[in-house]
Structure 1
Amino acid sequence: MSRNNVQPATANETTRMMSGRVAVIGSSGQIGALVTDQLVAQGMAVRAISRSTTQTRDDAGVEQKTIHAYTREELGRALAGCTHVISTLGLPYNARIWQREWPSMMDELLNACHMNSLPLTVLDNMYVYGRAASPITEDSNLAPCSRKGEARLEGWRRMHAFQQRGMDVVVCRAADFIGPGAETTILPWSGIAAVLHSGHGALRWLGDPGFMHSFSNTVDIAGALVDVCARSEMRRHDVIHLPAVDAFSGHEFQDRLSRVAGRGITLHATPSRLVRLAGIFSGPAREQSEMMYQVERDYVVSDARYRELTPQSPHRSILGCLEQWAQMA
């Protein structure tokens, strides 16, 4: 849903809009830490807000704030003096926890930002669309087919209600994560790194490796969240899909990984029926089994809206990502 079409902001306008202090909520998480890095690299003042007591950042311009709970009262106090908010909040990968806590967590976050009159940028996922036909756009029907998707839909309803009241909230939905730090995903980073850096390991793929699937690079997600936070033309939209790597199949990933690793990589695909069978005995498998609809057909996410608003953003191929990751220590 688009609010109003405006011309892209100039660099000077973006700089002016981003003066002040940006609060990153959930800063100790995998994306929150990367968002903080992006802001620091751009010379922004940051308040890193988290429930973690183990944050050890000593970057100039980063003020760390530990809170006990994500309530509107604690968040409201933590946000005092900030000018923008980026939320990268997450929960343990458990449907019961998501259904119980996600909608209320969004209520608390929204009310805290509303009380402080702060624009809010929220990281979300694609689960609200359910079995939508590819390519999935921001205008695809919201028809979740999982308990986690239903929880996210309830969170979206709360956010949309605040948008309807005039609050500046943009929801940024990302495809499955891939890249440094991404573990709760179809292609965990530890497995990719093992093949690239140790020369050992095989490729593990959930579902049918013949279908196409979209992923978003963790570093790209962080950079895009900063873009959406900063740029007025992006904030004319209620929902934006963050940039995705060009979609690929498991077989294509096997081929590209073999090329970069310099050896043939074996692919071990786990079909849905085995994941569902394992779910009888394993909690993690049970949580994954309701999401297997994403790998039983092509699941391609359109990021066209984001790219129209940022025409300078390069398209990423999985081969290019792998070549870059192979250079990492």
Structure 2
Amino acid sequence: MSTHPKTLVLGATGGIGYAITNSLLARQWPVTILVRTRSKAAALFADNPLLTIAEGDAQDAAKVDSLAGSADFIVHAINYPYHQWFGRMESVTRHVIEAAKPRPDRTIAGRTLPGPATVVFPGNVYNFGNTNQPIRPDSRPAPCTRKGQLRVELEAMLEQAADAGQCRVLTVRLPDFWGPNVLNEGIRPVFLGALTGKPMPWLLNADIPHQSVYTPDAGEVIVRLMEQQWTQRLTSPGDVAAYRVWNYGGTTLSSMRDWFSQITQLTGKPSSVRVYPRWLFSVLGLVNPVMREVKEMLYLYENTILLDDRATLAALPDFRPTPMDQALRDTLRWFAETQLN
């Protein structure tokens, strides 16, 4: 009988959730995804007998709870546009914690595993503000924005729930990310510009180092950490930490301008960068609620913020990140096949 754990993924049609789901399925783990639009998910994922697509809203607590009934892991990769964070992110996190609580129907290989499900939470660097020191897994939060404070509060909710035995938590903090199906307004125009010869946009400063991660690598790191914990639960359940934080920083690019040039060398199109100034977001924020929220995050583009991921890489000695050239080619191919009309 298979000993693969069952996983519920929330946010599977987003960039990180998509990558995690693909890594899980590549390991033959059964996965259920909760999506608002079934057709969108069906277009993203190939037919797979191990994948169950459920349609619904993660704000529906009863729906999340019913799908998580036999789940060993719940991936909380839900994200909303910035202006919808407040209220929604807190409530969906509460639903996930509630769904992870211990119940008798979580079984594997014909036996019940004690304890709650593990919540897998992709974090970010917002908790630590404009720091010039590498962020360690145990660094103290020092947010300088409202959204940073909210991320601190979400992680605190998860840690308190883990300490109370309501769930286990694997938080994996990531920097900016890019790759197939990353369709935010910071990344999508870059790859479409590279494919069409249009200027590739960036914010404030394209000439300083910037840490960024390729989503399939992030998904692989997260799933390897899940795999390690699962093995430990089967063999030494008493040694499994209730709450654990990991960092994965991906690649520290010498500058975005150099990276953009590397991308256009693969497309054969002109390399052109359009850097948007700070004042523009003040103007756009008058009429656009997302741009209003972006304004407080601009420090991330004026400074180099770094995650210290040495502990993660030491724990995963066989992990090898995708070579940059291959990662860029695969991402360009995905955008060319799915985003160009």
User: Structure 1 residue 289: deviation in Å?
Assistant: 0.8
Distance 1:279 1:255, change over 3 A: same
Are positions 1:308 and 2:297 aligned together? no
Runs of 5+ in structure 1 lacking a partner? 1-14
| Residues 1:146 and 1:86: Cα distance change in structure 2 (over 3 Å) | same
* Amino acid of the structure 1 residue aligned with 2:282: R
Alignment partner for residue 76 of structure 1, among 33, 40, 65? 65
Question: How far apart, in 2, do the equivalents of 1:185 and 1:281 lie?
Answer: 17
Q: Structure 1 residues 135, 20: closer, same or farther in 2, change over 3 A?
A: closer
Cα 1:316/1:207, change in 2 over 3 Å = farther
More displaced, 222-231 or 47-56?
A: 47-56
User: How far apart, CA to CA, are the structure 1 residues paired with 2:327 and 2:38?
Assistant: 33
Residue in structure 2 matched with residue 45 of structure 1 by the alignment: 30
Find the aligned partners of 1:73 and 1:262 in 2 and give their Cα distance.
51
Unaligned runs of 5+ in 2: 104-115, 234-239
Q: Where do 4+ consecutive residues of structure 1 move more than 4 Å?
A: 233-237, 315-320, 326-329
CA shift, 1:161, in A, is 0.4
1:112 to 99, 109, 116: 99
Partners of 2:324 and 2:188 in 1: CA distance: 14
Q: Which moved more, 1:169-178 or 1:114-123?
A: 114-123
CA distance in 1, matches of 2:261, 2:14: 31
Q: CA RMSD in A?
A: 2.7
Structure 1 residues 32 and 250 mapped into 2: Cα distance closer, same or farther (>3 Å)?
Answer: closer
Q: CA, structure 1 residues 71+282, in 2 after alignment: closer, same or farther (shift >3 Å)?
A: closer
Structure 2 counterparts to residues 22-101 of structure 1, below 5 A = 22-54=7-39, 55-56=41-42, 58-94=47-83, 97-101=84-88
Aligned to 1:228: 225
Shift of the 68–185 alpha-carbon distance from structure 1 to 2, 3 Å rule, reads closer
Distance change (3 Å), C-alpha of 1:72 and 1:112 = farther
Q: Output the amino acid matched with 1:218.
A: T
- Contact 1:243/1:306, CA 8 A, preserved across alignment: no
The one of 215, 231, 255 aligned to 2:212: 215
Shift of residue 110, structure 1, vs aligned partner: 0.8
Deviation at 1:53, TM superposition (A): 4.1
Q: Paired residue for 1:280, among 243, 268, 286?
A: 286
Q: Is the 8 A contact 2:35 2:56 kept in 1?
A: yes
Structure 1 residue 63: deviation in Å?
A: 1.8
The separation in 1 between residues aligned to 2:177 and 2:282, in whole angstroms, is 22
Given that 1:26 and 1:87 are in contact with CA atoms closer than 8 Å, whether structure 2 keeps it comes out as yes
- TM-score normalised by the chain length of structure 2: 0.81
The alpha-carbon distance between structure 1 residues 99 and 19, as it changes in their structure 2 partners (threshold 3 A), is: same
The residue correspondences of 1:105-254 to structure 2 (distance < 5 A) are 105-116=92-103, 117-166=116-165, 167-184=167-184, 186=186, 188-195=187-194, 197-198=195-196, 200-232=197-229, 236=241, 238-254=244-260
Equivalenced residue count is 309
Q: 1:305 to 1:269 in 2, by over 3 A?
A: same
Q: What do the CA deviations read for 1:144-174 (whole angstroms, capped 9, x no partner)?
A: 1122112211111101102222432111111
315-324 vs 251-260, which moves further:
315-324
Q: Structure 1 counterpart of 2:172, which letter?
A: C
- For residues 259-302 of structure 1, the C-alpha deviation after alignment (integer angstroms, 9 at most, x for no partner) is 33335411111122332333233333212111001011122222
| Alpha-carbon contact 2:18-2:181 (below 8 Å) kept | no
Counterpart-to-counterpart distance in 2, 1:296 and 1:229: 34
Instruction: Tell me if the contact between 2:10 and 2:58 (Cα under 8 Å) persists in the aligned partners.
Output: no
Residues 59 and 319 from structure 1, CA distance in 2 versus in 1: closer, same or farther, beyond 3 angstroms?
closer
Shift of 1:72: 4.0
Q: What SS class does the counterpart of residue 7 from structure 2 fall into?
A: strand
Q: Using the alignment, how far apart are the partners of 1:64 and 1:322 within structure 2?
A: 29
Amino acid at match of 1:31: I
Which secondary structure does the structure 2 equivalent of 1:231 belong to?
helix
- Percent sequence identity over matched residues? 19
Aligned to 2:237: none
